[in-house]
Amino acid sequence: MMTSEFQILLYTAASLGFVHTVLGPDHYLPFIMIGRARNWPLRNTLGLTFMCGVAHVVSSVVIGLVGITIGAQLEKLTWIETFRGNLAAWALIAFGLVYAVWGLQHWRKQRNIHRPDGLTREKTVTPWVLFIIFVLGPCEVLIPVLMYPAANESMSTLLTVAGVFGVTTLATMLAAVFILSYGLSLVAVKPLEKFSHTIAGLVIFLSGIAIQLLGV
C-alpha cells in the first residue's frame, strides 16, 4: 500500500515533469526547427527528440544516484547541476548562433553552386551536437525536489519517482514536438524556406538566451 508521502512524491514527479518541459523551450523548439529546416519525416524528428530526452533525464538521475549513494551534500549536487545548466545553455546559444551563420552562408552558396557534400556532413554533425548539449543539460528540479526526499523513503521509492518524472518528461517532449511540428506543417511559409536553416539557428539561439537570462 502506498503511503501518503509516496503518493505526493509521485504526483509531484508527474506534475514537475510536465511543467518543467512545457516551460523550457529548449525541450522541443530545437527539434522542431531542425526537423523543419531539413524536411525530415516526423518520425526522424521524434527519434532525435527521444534520444536527447533520454540523455537529458538519465544524466541527472545518474548524478543524483551517485550523490545519494556516497552521501554527498545536496548543496554540492545542486551546484553541479547549476554548473551543468549554465554550460548547456551557453552551448545551446553558441550552437544556435553558429548554425544560423552556417545557414546564411549555405543559402548564399546555393545561389551559385550546389554543394551536397558539405550539407551531408553538417546533417550528420547537428544531431550529435544536440545530443551532447542534452547530456550536459540537467533536470534542475529532479535531485533536490524529488530524489533526495524519495531517498528518505526507500531506494525503490527513489527509482519509481525518478522513473515517473523521466517518463512524463519524455512523453511531454514528444507530444509537444509532434503537435507543434504537425501544426507548423500546415502553415504555408514557402518564401521563407530558403532561410530555414538560419531561422532554425536563431530560434535555438533564442532558446538558449531564454534559459540563461530568463531562467525558463
- Residue 176 covered by a domain: yes
Q: Is 119's pLDDT higher than 60?
A: no
Could you tell me which residue, 67 or 122, shows the higher pLDDT?
Answer: 67
Secondary structure (3-state) at 104? helix
Give the pLDDT score at 123.
63
What gap in Å lies between CA 32 and CA 43, rounded to an integer? 12
Give the SS3 label for residue 122.
helix
Give how many domains the chain has, as a whole number: 1
pTM over 0.85: yes
Domain that holds residue 144: 12-214
- The answer to whether residue 50 scores a pLDDT higher than 70 is yes
What's the full length of the chain, in residues? Answer: 216
Q: Residue 190's pLDDT is what?
A: 66
Contact 139, 34 (CB under 8 A): no
pLDDT of residue 112: 65
**Looking at the domain assignment, is residue 129 inside a domain?**
yes
Q: Is the dihedral of CA 155, 159, 161, 162 positive or negative?
A: positive
For the chain, give the mean pLDDT.
88
Do 161 and 150 contact (CB within 8 A), yes or no? yes
pLDDT surpassing 60 at residue 34: yes
Does position 118 have pLDDT exceeding 80, yes or no? no
Using DSSP's 3-state secondary structure scheme, residue 54 falls into helix
Whether 3 is in a domain gets the answer no
CB 27 within 8 A of CB 181: no
More confident residue, 188 or 133: 133
Supply the pLDDT for residue 181.
93
Cell digits for 190?
Answer: 514557402
* 2 lies in some domain: no
Q: Tell me, yes or no, whether 71 lies in a domain.
A: yes
H-run or E-run covering 23? helix 4-23
Does 7 reside within a domain?
A: no
Q: Label residue 215 by pLDDT band (50, 70, 90).
A: low
